[in-house]
Amino acid sequence: MNTIHVDDPLVFALPGNESVAVGIVDALEAEFGIAEIRDFPDGESYVRMISNPRDREVVLVGTLHPPNDRFMRIAFLADVARELGARRVGLVAPYLAYLRQDRRFHTGEAVTSRTFGRLVSRAVDWVVSVDPHLHRLTSLAEVYDVPAIATDAAPLLGDWVKRYVENPLIVGPDAESEQWALVVAEVADVPLVLLKKQRLADEDVHLTLPRVTHGTDRVPVLVDDIVSTGRTLVVATQLLRSAGFPAPVCVVVHAVFADGALERILGAGTARIVTTNSIVHSTNAIDVVPAIATAFDSSRRSSGGTGRSHRGP
């Protein structure tokens, strides 16, 4: 994996991203920047950079969920940082939005992953994210014009399963989930099974379970990158329960959760659902900072930094 080298970074947290930003400040031995960020009553955003970014590397920490207004704040902060003399401005977006519409499925549709990638690339000099939803895309470079690094939370999910689930069976709800499920199964050193998924509409999901000849005494752990409507986890839970498994535990990277999704998943009979803090949510139990830290060149840290490191705000 390529890494980003940041020299003397000044880290700003977008609202709601403070805990991940503090982790990044610690990991990079960086300085926490102070900014005022708020919305006017009409919905427009106000941003004011209070810490001086002159000749500094600015790191903005802002997850992109929900993406539209979040992006505007990032664009305003990036612009003012440059106007005030920042050398470079990078974005750590633990959740990177607009990656699912990566082709024109119907005539006239906007390929939003391309357009959004161009917009972000004009705003910042580099991007770091966690498990971006690369389905038909092979890398972020297909839609981002600036260096864009995808880090991997699956080992952290595997550590969580190893610590907290006794006698698990890892279950990937579809072929795409294999990349995470496989790593989780390896880290936890337990077996894996993949379901087959057919999505007929946003909320219409069909799943099938391959013939399982053993393991129904194990606790199924459903591993996925995103929970959105929750239909995938609801249908998978129903399928596993009807096949005789105990109540499954769900372990997911990005807690997107559309309205009512959490209630639907819990109501379907799952034992528990846990997510990473790439998006702040009540189900967060796994910290993504160790994954994000792998995107940064560690030479500055090993040489002792500048000595101006401190926590805040």
* Order of strands, sheet of 284-286, starting from the edge strand that comes earlier in the sequence: 192-194, 168-172, 219-227, 249-255, 272-276, 284-286
Beta strand 45-49 with 35-39 is antiparallel
Residue 299: CB minimum distance to ligand R5P, A:
35
Residue 115: CB minimum distance to ligand R5P, A:
20
> Of 238, 229, 270, nearest to 251 (Cα)?
270
Residue 258: CB minimum distance to ligand R5P, A:
7
Q: Cβ closer to ligand R5P: 99 or 288? A: 99
Q: Cβ closer to ligand R5P: 7 or 109? A: 109
Q: Cβ closer to ligand R5P: 158 or 173? A: 173
Residues engaged in binding ligand R5P (CB under 6 A): 135, 173-174, 176-177, 205, 224-232
The residue with tokens 């633990």 is 94
How far is it, in rounded angstroms, from Cα 168 to Cα 66?
Answer: 33
Beta strand 148-151 with 126-130 is parallel
Q: Cβ closer to ligand R5P: 123 or 222? A: 222
Residue 118: CB minimum distance to ligand R5P, A:
23
Q: Cβ closer to ligand R5P: 64 or 205? A: 205
How far is it, in rounded angstroms, from Cα 84 to Cα 63?
Answer: 24
Angle CA 221–246–232, to nearest 5: 50
Q: Cβ closer to ligand R5P: 148 or 227? A: 227
Contacting residues for 43 by C-beta, under 8 A, at least 6 apart: 69
Q: Cβ closer to ligand R5P: 129 or 177? A: 177
- HSE of 248, CA atoms in CB hemisphere, 13 A: 31
> Of 72, 33, 78, 22, nearest to 288 (Cα)?
22
Residue 229: CB minimum distance to ligand R5P, A:
3
Q: Answer yes or no: are the C-beta atoms of 275 and 252 closer than 8 Å.
A: yes
Residue 148: CB minimum distance to ligand R5P, A:
20
Residue 231: CB minimum distance to ligand R5P, A:
4
